[in-house]
Amino acid sequence: MAKSPTGPNGSKAGNTSGRGQRDLKVKVKSARGRTMSSTLWLQRQLNDPYVKRAKAEGLRGRAAFKISEIDDKYRFLTPGKRVVDLGCAPGGWCQIAAKRVNALGDRVGKAQGYVLGVDIQEVEPILGCELHVLDFLDEGADDKVKEWLGGPADVVMSDMAAASCGHKQTDHMRIIALCEAAAYFAFDVLEEGGVFVAKVLAGGAEGELQHILKQRFKKVANFKPGASRSDSSEKFVVAQGFKGRDV
């Protein structure tokens, strides 16, 4: 009688009980000095397929797949585009943008783009990107960015999130305020026809932001990429076709 094939962990390949899959998950034991929430976060990270994939592909975090999915749908990171990434640390969004806009100029026959990443902390160098320590909220930050770019930007994007205080409504208001600040910064640096992409949290207060963006852009959409965790209220607003600063 032939034996059933077995998987790498010794479970039968045809087993549908789920026991074989469950055995593959990494379980993290509680340690002295580590809170339960920290333990659960670590366990989730170790079992997150996007975290594993990011490591395998040399990307700086799972967030890189969010911008990949957003761009797959809306197609704004095309060769030749000039991109500003606000709050760019650790750099995953910059990595994706650099490849897609041809920042290295290694795609024959395609226009060469430019990626500028700014953050309040220093970021390790990224191939094809220019990185600066800058608080975009500082006076004159928009002029510095345009100087570094050599003109206006085609895309301003942001995956920034305000520091959490643990109070859901307060955290929601903080991230919406940060997104609004990023939007007004984008109004100062975007080329007419440009694109603004930013993270928001669903919760009600984003209505005013949506209203502002609809006045300044031809199209405004909301999208939750598959790389966003299902238990997260985050989504991304994608505003296309900037009407210009005089609107």
DSSP 61-76: STTHHHHHHHHHHH--
115: containing domain: 61-242
Identify the H or E element spanning 223.
strand 217-223
In this structure, are 39 and 68 located in the same domain? no
Q: Is 219 a catalytic residue?
A: no
In this structure, are 27 and 85 located in the same domain? no
* Dist. CA 176–CA 223, nearest whole Å: 16
In this structure, are 98 and 205 located in the same domain? yes
Q: Is residue 14 part of a domain?
A: no
Tell me if the pTM is above 0.85: no
Q: Residues 220, 196: contact at Cβ < 8 Å?
A: no
Taking only the tens place, the pLDDT of each residue in 137-160 is 999 999 999 999 999 999 999 999
In this structure, are 36 and 143 located in the same domain? no
Q: Is residue 120 part of a domain?
A: yes
Q: Is residue 11 part of a domain?
A: no
In this structure, are 38 and 84 located in the same domain? no
In this structure, are 147 and 234 located in the same domain? yes
* Dist. CA 147–CA 179, nearest whole Å: 23
6-10, 91-95, 129-133, 180-184: least confidently modelled range: 6-10
In this structure, are 25 and 132 located in the same domain? no
In this structure, are 117 and 85 located in the same domain? yes
Q: Is residue 41 part of a domain?
A: yes
CATH at residue 180: 3.40.50.150
In this structure, are 123 and 197 located in the same domain? yes
148 is in an annotated binding site: no
Taking only the tens place, the pLDDT of each residue in 26-65 is 444 445 555 555 544 444 544 567 677 768 777 778 889 9
Residue 21: per-residue pLDDT: 34
85 is in an annotated binding site: no
In this structure, are 43 and 74 located in the same domain? no
* Number of domains, the chain: 2
Catalytic-labelled residue, pool 66, 81, 99, 199 = 199
Angle (nearest 5°) at CA 116 between 209 and 93 = 65
* Dist. CA 88–CA 188, nearest whole Å: 19
93 is in an annotated binding site: yes
In this structure, are 90 and 169 located in the same domain? yes
246 is in an annotated binding site: no
